[in-house]
């Protein structure tokens, strides 16, 4: 079912750990690891029925070209990209198999995040372009690979309108940074040749046959099994909202904790649109109220039953987020100068634009406006973003983020 494709060059000490992470899997019956080495002066040798090493005697002109050639050598239809400096989690291929079997028909399968290690020590749960991406061969056959050795993963994953399934199961990849080696993404936007030349300058120049000895130099797995969760995620999971990391959660709180940690240390005025989801009625208001010790919190919902969530410093305005008069009445009632506005409302593009157009001017200097759930089916994402940008409101930053760009953040 799954081929793990690993490209490598002059980093056999890292490659041995990547192989060990594959061997530690509860391997599906149909699985393999395919390693592409294009250092013509080295032959890597390791004998295992599930591990196939191809010692290619001509160097590829780019990382992208190496990947394109490599996937064509894979036996199975689902191809997991694992760089030689990263590791599979113990449950990686088992969880991936479950996702593929229970959610058929997608072109890419990926985790919502990964475990980020700095110099082989667990640092945090995070998210990046490569969260353990699994591509179907049919998808890779239909796209044009970019001529790149950096940022090629973003192009391959997001530039071809792929159908993407993001797993709600535990992360499948350990992403490693540091370790006294260079990382292509750390070089910035430079040419393929500069990257290839730099690799030859700084990496291991051992030649001849190298018999690989798969092993771990560190106890990675005990670190991720003991992974602490941040305070906002703990609150979200305990209360029960889809912003947390429970099975039904979007894992937004992992990102929100980093974005809002400093804000949580002072008085906050906040407005949230959409607080009466029947699955989690009032839960997000409870979460924000506990996370921010000093908060003036206003909920906004079209459902009159949301008034039940009012208490002390929590108020609720009943209105239609697609009605500017209702939105202005909310501002007239509760005032302006918001530190944070979150739109978790209807998820219709027209409604989002109306709310943003009306409410953004009421953010205070340095305030943050968040639009959630860009994966929602009712949303014409590109049209909506174009309409928001056409307003030309002053802002310090405008970006999409979190996993498959599910959030818009405007500062």
Report the DSSP beta bridge partners of residue 300: 273, 317
Look up the pTM and report it. 0.59
Give me 354's structure tokens.
Answer: 């109306």
Domains of the chain, each with CATH number or no CATH = 2-224 (3.90.550.10), 231-410 (3.40.50.150)
- 124 beta partners: 116
pLDDT in tens, the chain (411 residues): 999 999 999 999 999 999 999 999 987 778 999 999 999 999 999 999 999 999 999 999 999 999 999 999 999 999 999 999 999 999 999 999 989 998 999 999 999 889 999 999 998 888 889 999 999 999 999 999 999 887 899 999 999 999 999 887 889 999 998 887 766 665 556 677 877 776 777 678 899 999 999 999 999 999 988 766 789 988 998 898 989 877 677 888 888 988 998 899 999 999 999 999 988 899 999 999 999 999 999 999 999 999 999 998 999 999 999 999 999 999 999 999 999 999 999 989 899 999 999 999 999 999 999 999 887 756 677 788 889 999 999 888 887 776 556 677 777
**What is the distance between the alpha carbons of residues 36 and 15, in angstroms, rounded to a whole number?**
11
Q: Which residues contact 364 (CB under 8 A, 6 or more apart)?
A: 269, 336, 337, 338, 339
Cβ contact 50:67 at 8 Å: no
């Amino acid at each position: 079912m799954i081929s793990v494709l690993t490209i490598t060059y002059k980093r056999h000490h890292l490659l041995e750990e990547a192989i060990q992470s594959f061997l530690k899997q509860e391997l599906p019956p149909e699985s393999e690891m395919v390693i592409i080495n294009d250092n013509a002066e080295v032959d890597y040798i390791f004998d295992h029925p599930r591990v196939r090493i191809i010692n290619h005697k001509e160097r590829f002109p780019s990382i992208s070209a190496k990947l394109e050639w490599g996937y064509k050598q894979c036996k199975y239809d689902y191809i997991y990209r694992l760089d030689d400096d990263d590791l599979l989690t113990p449950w990686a291929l088992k969880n991936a198999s479950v996702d593929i079997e229970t959610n058929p028909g997608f072109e890419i399968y990926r985790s919502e995040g990964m475990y980020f290690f700095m110099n082989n020590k667990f640092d945090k749960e995070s998210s990046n372009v490569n969260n353990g991406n699994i591509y179907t061969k049919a998808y890779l056959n239909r796209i044009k690979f970019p001529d790149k050795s950096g940022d090629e993963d973003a192009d391959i994953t997001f530039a071809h309108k792929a159908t993407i399934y993001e797993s709600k199961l535990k992360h499948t990849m350990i992403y490693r940074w540091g370790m006294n080696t260079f990382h292509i993404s750390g070089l910035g936007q430079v040419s393929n040749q500069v990257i290839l030349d730099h690799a030859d300058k700084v990496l291991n120049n051992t030649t001849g046959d190298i018999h690989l000895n798969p092993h771990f130099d560190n106890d990675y797995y005990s670190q991720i099994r003991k992974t602490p969760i941040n305070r906002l995620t703990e609150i979200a999971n305990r209360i029960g909202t889809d912003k947390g990391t429970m099975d039904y959660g979007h894992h937004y709180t992992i990102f929100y904790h980093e974005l809002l940690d400093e804000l949580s240390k002072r008085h906050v005025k906040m407005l949230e649109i959409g607080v009466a989801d029947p699955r989690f009625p009032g839960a997000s208001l409870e979460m924000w109220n506990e996370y921010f010790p000093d908060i003036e919190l206003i909920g906004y919902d079209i459902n009159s039953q949301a008034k039940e969530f009012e208490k002390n410093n929590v108020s609720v305005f009943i209105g239609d987020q697609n009605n500017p008069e209702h939105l202005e009445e909310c501002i007239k009632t509760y005032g302006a100068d918001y530190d944070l506005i979150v739109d978790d409302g209807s998820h219709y593009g027209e409604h989002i634009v109306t709310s943003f157009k009306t409410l953004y001017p009421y953010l205070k200097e340095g305030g943050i406006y968040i639009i959630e759930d860009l994966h929602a089916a009712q949303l014409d994402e590109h049209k909506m973003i174009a309409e928001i940008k056409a307003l030309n409101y002053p802002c310090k930053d405008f970006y999409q983020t979190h996993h498959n760009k599910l959030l818009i953040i405007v500062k």
